Structure 1
Amino acid sequence: MNLPPINIGNIDIKLAFGGFVLNVLYVKFGYFHTSMREHSHSYGSYELHYIPSGQGILVAEGKRYPLTPGTLFMTGPNVAHEQIPDHSDPMAEYCVFLEVLPGDSQPAASKYSTNKENLLSELLVNTPFWIGLDNENMMALFEMLADELSAKRIGFHHMATNILEMIITRMVRQYTKHSSSLLDVPVKTLDDSRMLTIENCFLNEYHSITLGQLADRLGLSTRQTERTVQKQYGVSFKDKKQQSRMGAAAQLLTTTDMTISAIAAEIGFATLEQFSHSFKQYHGMTATQYRSRRK
C-alpha cells in the first residue's frame, strides 16, 4: 500500500467547530517499528489516530485493543495510552494533534452554529477516549489532505482547513455508532508552542529535564512553570516527571532484556538503589517482580 505522507510544518490552522475552536498543532504520518511508550496529554489536548495499514495493540485506560487497518481512536486529556506494533506487520498511522480553544477565539462570522454542530463539539471535548472502526471513508480525506499540502496550489491553506474540519467531523460522528467513554473534561488553554514543548519534554527528556530548564525554554519563571504544569496535568512538575520515568522504566522492563541497572541509568537515576526505591514506591512491587509478571 503506497501511503502519502502528511506534515503541516509551521502552517497555522484553526478550525471552527461548534462552540469551540480547534488549534491544529500538527498532522503527521509514520510507521511504528518500536513501541510508543505509555504517555498522556494535557488538559484541552486531543490526538486523533487513524491506522491505514499494519497491525498492533493499543493499551489505553488499562485495556488492550487490537489495531487493524481502518481503526480510529481518539486520546484526550489524561488518558494514559501506549501503542505496540506487530513487528511482522508494522502499522502505519496518521495522527492529528489539536488543542481545544474556547469559542470566543473564533472570528465573529464563525460563531453562529446549529445545535447539532454544538452537540458535535461537546461530544468531542466530553469524550476523553474513543476507539472504533472507520465507516466514513477517512482514508480518502487523508489522501486529499496529503495532495493539497504537497502540491501547494493556490488556496491550499483554505482547502487543507476544510479537509481537516471534515476529518474531525467524520471522526466524532462515529462516536454515536459505537460505545464510548463519556466523561466531563475541563477545557483549558495554553499557548500552543509552550504546550508542545511541555509534552515533548515529558515524553522524550523525562530522564534529565529539570524545572529550571523547562522554565527557560518556556520563557517563564520556575513558579509560573510549576503552575502551568499543574494546570495542564493536575500534578506537580516533580510528579509528572516521575510518572514519565516510571512509565519508561515499565516499558523497558517488558520490551527489552536490559539489566535493571542499565534501565535505572537510562531513565536518569544516579544509583540503582534510588531507582529501586522509586520504582517500588510507584508500582507497588520491585522491578524484578514487575518484569516477571508482565513478560
Structure 2
Amino acid sequence: MTFPPSLPALDVEHMQMHAAVGGLRLNVLYIRSGTFLQSMPAHAHSGKSYELHYVPAGRGQLIADGVRYPIGPHTLYMTGPDIVHEQIPDPGDPMREYCICFEALPAGEHADPDSSAIAELFLRTAFWHGTDTQQLSDLFERLSREADLQSIGYYMSIRSLVEQIVIAAVRNYACNRLSAHAAPQKTLDDKRLVLIEHSFLSASDTLTLPGLAQTLGLGIRQTERTLKQHYGLSFTQKKRQARLSAACSLLVTTTLPIGRIARRVGFATLESFCTFFKKATGISAGEYRERRQEER
C-alpha cells in the first residue's frame, strides 16, 4: 500500500520482521501511517496477505467488495486476501490511518488450543469493520515512538507491539469473549523455586533445613541438592546471605538500634551479630549505616 501525498509519521518497511500470535506466524511486510489527502484506488492483496487498518482520527468511507462502510475516529477494519477495497477521505476532515500489512500462516500442529482458536478466528475473518474497543491508539502511538527513537531493544519492542495489536484485532472480532482454555501452569520445580525465595525472604531468622524441606515436600538431601543447583550455595550459606541482606536493608531503611536489628534477623546476641556482619562486609554495622545514609 502506498499512501497518497502526506507526511507519514511511521514507516517501517525495510525492517525484516517475523512475529508470532497464538497459532499464527506473521511475516510483516510494512507498517505505515499517514493522512489521506486524496482517495486510495480500489486494490486487493495477495492470497496470504492481510492489511490491518486503524483510524484514530478523521472521517471518510471504505468500499469493500462493493459495499460502503463509514470511517470515523477509532474505526478498525481488516482487509484480507482478495478483498477489493478503496478508501475515500472526507475533504473537510481527512482520515489519519495506521496500517500494518503482513502475510499470515498457521503455526502448525503443535500450537496449544487457545493459540489454535486465535489462528482459526483470524484466518477465517477475511474482512472485518467496526469500532475498536481495545485501545489501539495507545499501542500504535507506542509503536511510533519506538520506531522514531530507536532506543536499545526497539526491534523487539516493535515486534511485541505488532503481536499485541493483532491480538487486540482478534479480540474485536470476538467481542472480548473469554478464553476457553486455562494458561499453562508452573512446573513443580518452578513452584518450589518460588517457595525457596519466599522462605528465605520472609523467615530468614527462623528458617531451618528440615522446615524448608517440609515446605518443599522434599527430603533434606534433595533440598540441599536443589539449593546447590539453583544458587550454588548450601542451606547454611544461603541462610547467612539472606540474614545479611535483611540486616543491610533494616540498617538503611529504619532507625532501629543495631541490637534490635540483630534480634530481628535471628541473632541471640549483639556480639555474635557484629562479628558476623563485619566478617561478611569488612566494616561494622554502624559504619555501614553511616556510609549508606551519606550516599542517600
TM-score bin, normalised by smaller chain: 0.5 to 0.7
The residue number in structure 2 matching 1:8 is 12
Matched, 1:88 2:92: yes
* Residue among 81, 85, 90 paired with 1:77: 81
* Residue among 99, 104, 118 paired with 2:103: 99
The residue number in structure 1 matching 2:57 is 53
The residue number in structure 2 matching 1:133 is 131
Contact 1:4 1:143 in 2 (8 A): no
3-state secondary structure, aligned to 2:157: helix
Contact 2:23 2:118 in 1 (8 A): no
3-state secondary structure, aligned to 1:52: strand
The residue number in structure 2 matching 1:116 is 114
Contact 2:106 2:119 in 1 (8 A): no
Q: Residue 113 of structure 1: CA displacement?
A: 3.9
CA displacement, residues 49-77 of structure 1 (integer Å, 9 cap, x when unaligned): 00011100001122111100000000001
CA displacement, residues 88-133 of structure 1 (integer Å, 9 cap, x when unaligned): 11111000000113426xxxxxx86431221111111111100110
3-state secondary structure, aligned to 1:15: strand
Distance in 2, matches of 1:114 and 1:20, equals: 11
Contact 2:17 2:28 in 1 (8 A): yes
Contact 1:35 1:82 in 2 (8 A): yes
Alignment of 1:61-72 (within 5 A): 61-72=65-76
The residue number in structure 2 matching 1:177 is 175
Q: Residue 19 of structure 1: CA displacement?
A: 2.6
* Residue among 16, 21, 26 paired with 1:17: 21
Distance in 1, matches of 2:77 and 2:13, equals: 23
Aligned-partner residue type, residue 94 of structure 1: Y
Distance in 2, matches of 1:101 and 1:68, equals: 30
Matched, 1:26 2:30: yes
| TM-score, scaled relative to structure 2 | 0.55
CA displacement, residues 18-67 of structure 1 (integer Å, 9 cap, x when unaligned): 23310111000011111111111110100000001110000112211110
The residue number in structure 1 matching 2:210 is none
Bigger Cα Rg = 2
3-state secondary structure, aligned to 2:42: strand
Percent of aligned pairs sharing the same letter:
43
* Residue among 114, 133, 140 paired with 1:142: 140
Aligned-partner residue type, residue 142 of structure 1: F
Distance in 2, matches of 1:49 and 1:150, equals: 20
Over the aligned positions, Cα root-mean-square deviation in angstroms equals 1.9
Q: Which runs of 4+ in 1 moved over 6 A?
A: none
CA displacement, residues 248-294 of structure 1 (integer Å, 9 cap, x when unaligned): xxxxxxxxxxxxxxxxxxxxxxxxxxxxxxxxxxxxxxxxxxxxxxx
Q: Residue 7 of structure 1: CA displacement?
A: 1.4
The answer to which structure, 1 or 2, has the higher relative contact order (CA under 8 A, 6+ apart) is 1
Aligned-partner residue type, residue 156 of structure 1: Y
Aligned-partner residue type, residue 121 of structure 2: L
Q: Residue 84 of structure 1: CA displacement?
A: 0.6
Question: Structure 1: which 5+ runs fail to align?
Answer: 105-110, 179-295
CA displacement, residues 112-163 of structure 1 (integer Å, 9 cap, x when unaligned): 6431221111111111100110110000000110111111111111111111
Question: Structure 2: which 5+ runs fail to align?
Answer: 1-6, 177-296
Distance in 1, matches of 2:83 and 2:101, equals: 14
